[in-house]
Structure 1
Amino acid sequence: MSDYRSALTSLEPAAWPAYLDEHSGLPGPRGNLELATVVADLGDRVLFDALIASGDEYRTFCGVVGLGRDAGDDRVRARLREFSTDARWRVREAVAIGLQRLGNIDLPSLERIVLDWAADPHPLVQRAAAAAICEPRLLRTPAAASTAIEVCRRATAALAALPADRRRAADVRTLRQGLGYCWSVAVAADPGPGLAAFAALQDQRDPDVAWIVRENLGKKRLARLVER
């Protein structure tokens, strides 16, 4: 990562996009997250806007990650919410990563955002909320863990309330997939209340909720707690 930092600081900002193109890791299975992190650290909103405006997937990814630290601003937050429903999965992931960067410096603001987004009717906005808060490094207090559990609970309840024909849609399936691991992170952060909330899911007969339960029970972080 230090190599990327040195390289970018030695370049004029106008040369950054070409550098990103060269080192993006795309096409390929994994984009260069380390480089995106450095761009987010060193860049400003003017740069982030330019990267997003290019339309290129990796440049957009970097720009959206960079915007995350300013998500306390209403206009930036509205843009991130829009990007959370983007057709490109990497851009959607950039929203969660960007919000986590906000959480690193202002966790209460992140908590307010994810609780609000968890009540949004769009499954992909709910998914972004869960993915953003369900990061172990952010869940070091009972309050933060409680927020993560509540976000997962709200998103799961919203999914379970959808009619059967809606469940087959790609956005709903993406939410379900996210909840298939987010619950385990939230529960492991504070097992007492977390296991109680998770146990309530196990009493439901909804097939998608049952799938979420099975997926999380397959995660070692949760399996160890359940086996105690």
Structure 2
Amino acid sequence: MGRRQEYAAVLRALDDWAPYLREHGGLPGPRANLELAQAVADVATPERAAALIDDAGTYGEEYLALCGVVALTDPALLRAHATDPRWRVREGVAMALQRRADADLPWLLDLADDWAGDPHPLVQRAAVAGLCEPRLLKTPPAAARAVAVCAAVTASLAARPASERRNEDVRTLRKALGYTWSVAVAADKANGLPVFERLAASTDPDVAWIVRENRGKARMR
């Protein structure tokens, strides 16, 4: 039995999960226990996930919120949490999208297309961060959709006025695009690389930064 399965077995035997999650979640600290968060999502009911998120809001506990969000499957709820000010909770949204996509990839492909057109930069960030996961891009159609989503979100970023560019949420989106392009292109080099290379002609400073960041990734080299 692996560690994730061990965590799941412990949780099934507990009535109140919060004390165990606080003890083993790894926060405060440099790294949250993501394996435990995945175990929570493996066994949590929707009601349990909602309770963890509610408890987190009451007590200001980021790890409980992370665990509850990873267990979500409702796209409306996930979209709401994609704009959470806590970065670990936003990562929980990406993890939740990927978990559902493991069983239903077309669902995530369509959702990412939709969220790429959302005006909120953190929803766009969730679209690229959720979709650009190597295990999900094993087929040419999936990789091509990832490239297209990255391209759409990058174009949206480039169209934002200069007055918005220093907004923290926009900078967070830019940071995500600084690595997601390399994941998408590495999954579909033949079609993705020409699309990416066309970005190099842009005079937009944020697009230029995105190009430099991705070119420096080992998967691109």
Please say if 1:78 is aligned against 2:76. Answer: yes
Aligned-partner Cα distance in 1 for 2:97–2:113: 13
How far apart, in 1, do the equivalents of 2:50 and 2:80 lie?
Answer: 14
TM-score by length of 1: 0.92
1:124 corresponds, among 122, 125, 137, to 122
Counterpart Cα distance in 2 of 1:200 and 1:97? 30
Report the count of equivalent residues.
214
The one-letter code matched in structure 1 to 2:63 is Y
Corresponding residue for residue 215 of structure 2:
217
Hey, what's the Cα distance between the residues in 1 that align with 2:14 and 2:122? 36
Alignment partners' CA distance in 2, 1:130 and 1:109: 14
Gaps of 5+ in 2: none
Per-residue deviation at 1:10? 2.4
TM-align CA RMSD:
0.9
| 2-structure distance, mates of 1:10, 1:168 | 48
> Structure 2 matches for 1:39-50, cutoff 5 A?
39-50=40-51
Counterpart amino acid of residue 86 in structure 2: R
State whether structure 2 residue 99 is matched by structure 1 residue 101: yes
Q: Which residue type is aligned with residue 49 of structure 2?
A: F
Shift of 1:217: 0.3
2:140 corresponds in structure 1 to 142
Aligned-residue sequence identity (percent) comes to 58
Misfit runs of 4+, over 4 Å: none
Partner of 2:206: 208
Q: 1:177 corresponds to which letter in structure 2?
A: K
Matches within 5 A, 1:168-207: 168-207=166-205
SS at match of 1:168: coil
Give the Cα–Cα distance (whole angstroms) in 1 for the partners of residues 43 and 80 of structure 2.
Answer: 24
Extract unaligned runs of 5+ from structure 1. 71-75, 224-228
Partner of 2:68: 63
Residue of structure 1 in register with 2:156 after alignment: 158
